[in-house]
Structure 1
Amino acid sequence: MKRRQFLQAAGAGLAAGSVAAPAIAQSSPEIKWRLTSSFPKSLDTIYGASEVLSKAVSEATDGKFQIQVFAAGEIVPGLQAADAVQNGTVEMAHTASYYYVGKDPTFAFATAVPFGLNARQQNAWFYHGGGMDLMNEFYRKYNIHALPGGNTGCQMGGWFRKELKTPADLQGLKMRIGGFAGQVLGKLGAVPQQIAGGDIYPALEKGTIDAAEWVGPYDDEKLGFQKVAQYYYYPGWWEGGAALHFFINQAKWNELPKAYQSLLVTAAGLANVDMQAKYDAKNPAALKRLVAGGAQLRPYPQEVMEACFKAANELYAETSAKNADFKKVYDAMMAFRNDEYLWFQVAEYTFDNFMIRARARG
């Protein structure tokens, strides 16, 4: 079955069970929404998730439910997407929840937190571990309803102008880093900067910052970081599985017919799977090109990882002591994480470890 036919059939089933398509078309209202993305069009993989959702919804409703996508800056700047949804400027946004930790650090959990979940675990927590219920309970305070809308997988650890050898090298380091991780690095003397994706390169080029992280090889190559910083570190311990979300104005979500709500859940799920599949498909070749072009690939030193892990746990304890919403979600996520790794170390890790070594042996 072709994709369009599948989506039309799915939309029909969601709208009225076994009712024939013509009857559904007559009863479905015409709705036009605007969606603001936190990302520029040039980042086709992460920006593209919004287009995947928009196309799926339009095809399934024969164009009756239209969602027009706008890139960062076309309506509001990328880091103001949540505000635009909250105040009703737009009906939807596609964004990273952890961009808004300035409002409340609890926002971080829906994207990624240091030494948290990997991508598969993140989706398991969202869909079957109560994660989205917890987050939407929290988001209601901000007039937002959220749906998972993509994942980058484990990210890279960023581009540095100078080699990083010990935790002392973080002292005074100005680094573009989003979310809760910036506060962790701050405990180790770094100076975190939250800068939208399209503005990172000039800041790194001019020396306004000393290091920057974004996503991974495919996006980083597009942004050109390899031209202005030599050392490329891994892993992004603060983003073991960075999730994106579709934020929907709560009142607008409540007004939607149930069939359209169900369709949005389905279309967001498609975008969620599609984004990570694209990254997993495109990152290997991009990494090869970056290394061939002179990027110096480096693992974070164990001493640095241990220092960051310790600082993260200290920050979790401090924040939990003064923020009940944060503590509630933190306790739930970390309990889920610990059980997940009981399972992952048995099959996933053993299989991956064998295959990686087998590949190295040729």
Structure 2
Amino acid sequence: MKRRDFLKVTGIGAAGAATLAAPAIAQSMPELKWRLTASWPKSLDTLWGGVELMAKLVGEATDNKFQIQAFAGGEIVPGLQVLDAVQNGTVEMGHTASYYYFGKDPTFAFGTAVPFGPNQRLNQAWYMLGGGRELLNQFYKGYNVTSFLAGNTGCQMGGWFRKEINTVDDLKGLKMRIGGFAGRVMQRLGVVPQQLAGGDIYPALEKGTIDAAEWVGPYDDEKLGFNKVAPHYYYPGWWEGGPMLLALVNLDKWNSLPKAYQSALEQAGQAANSWMMAKYDQGNPPALKKLLAGGTKLHSFSPPIMQACLKATKELYAETAATNPNFKKVLESMNSFTTNGYQWFQVAELGYDSFMARNPQG
């Protein structure tokens, strides 16, 4: 029997044929509209761009049955209140840096980065395959959220300073935008840490409310104009060797999702993660050259400052682990994975990268 005759006999007709041809997910899955609140302003096309890409891909993968509307920091809640909004169900999900919520529990820092922690690749490898995600989601469960990977900036810069910082004594009394665990470390060296959302940093630096600020790296920092109000640019950002950005999802909402939608969300997060890393690798080199051409003064933190920061970090780790079982458990897992990883990296990766950096091609 010809297909046309079959459709006539069965009474399906043209409309029915279209239904048969439609993807199975479009026929059987529910229509959902979620809201996502992010910690980032729309002016940052890397961080915000990752959010937009993730939402777009979820819609495409589900034939727009599952739609996610994204909101920048401040549109629904301030950028540093994403966790609270997801936890209490104001929104279904968020895109943020977990260490913003360090004040609730220091264990939150591991969801993004901790001082002298793993680099970009090792950090996400630990999260994905080294037990990090399971440990963190077990911890996040107490806040009614779960997580999946949705971005990484790569190693960040040490920040912008209104004056040169040459010795540990130069840090004393310095008011610096730096939050989370790193802020506590710097506090031990005399810094007065301030936690500000991205959009609030420039006016505070311009008015002298703060003396220094760290954000991400050349591409984003230049967009926010920090070079106009603080001439000294330091590296490396030892507190963010490879900071992950996570999608946090309300646990009840996550558990109610069909498995196909859960998979679509996670895969979209992975795509946003890969895109963001590539975007920073593309954008940071020319942005740094532009900053230097405009008069920015590039400095490395001195060895005494680096060693003092490392010492203070280890002391704070030991003190925190002694009183916080969750922190201790995650720290031990991350450190074990990182140590093994760097033993391998110094064999091939470091050797190759060092050679290539000394011998540029073209």
TM range (shorter): over 0.9
C-alpha distance after superposition, 1:296-332 (max 9, x if no partner):
0001101100000000000000000110100000011
For 2:295, the aligned partner's letter is G
CA contact (8 A) 2:122 2:338 kept: yes
1:114 to 2:118 alignment:
no
> Which structure 1 residue ranges, 4+ long, deviate > 6 Å from structure 2?
none
Structure 2 counterpart SS, 1:246: strand
Cα–Cα, structure 1 residues 117 and 21, in superposed 2: closer, same or farther, change >3 Å? farther
Instruction: Give 1:22 deviation, angstroms.
Output: 3.1
CA contact (8 A) 2:62 2:264 kept: no
Q: 1:357 is matched with which residue? A: 358
Please show how residues 113-262 of structure 1 align to structure 2 within 5 Å: 113-262=114-263
C-alpha distance after superposition, 1:20-56 (max 9, x if no partner):
7533311011000000010000011001111111100
Q: 2:41 is matched with which residue? A: 40
Q: 1:7 is matched with which residue? A: none
Give me the whole-angstrom Cα distance separating, in 2, the residues matched to 1:178 and 1:107.
12
Q: 2:289 is matched with which residue? A: 288
Please show how residues 283-322 of structure 1 align to structure 2 within 5 Å: 283-322=284-323
1:60 to 2:50 alignment:
no
Any unmatched runs of 5+ in structure 2?
Answer: 1-19
Instruction: Give 1:181 deviation, angstroms.
Output: 0.3
For 2:170, the aligned partner's letter is D
CA contact (8 A) 2:149 2:245 kept: yes
Out of 171-180 and 207-216, give the one that drifted further.
171-180
Give me the whole-angstrom Cα distance separating, in 1, the residues matched to 2:164 and 2:275.
35
For 1:45, the aligned partner's letter is T
Q: 2:8 is matched with which residue? A: none
CA contact (8 A) 2:59 2:67 kept: yes
CA contact (8 A) 2:212 2:230 kept: yes
C-alpha distance after superposition, 1:309-362 (max 9, x if no partner):
0000000000001101000000110111111110000011000000011129x8
Instruction: Give 1:254 deviation, angstroms.
Output: 0.2
Relative to the length of structure 1, the TM-score reads 0.93
Q: Percent identity?
A: 67
C-alpha distance after superposition, 1:248-286 (max 9, x if no partner):
000000000011111111111101111111011000010
Q: 2:12 is matched with which residue? A: none
Structure 2 counterpart SS, 1:338: helix
Give me the whole-angstrom Cα distance separating, in 2, the residues matched to 1:110 and 1:217.
23
RMSD of Structure 2 on Structure 1 (CA): 1.1
Structure with greater Cα Rg: 2
C-alpha distance after superposition, 1:109-143 (max 9, x if no partner):
01000000100001110111011011000000000
For 1:62, the aligned partner's letter is D
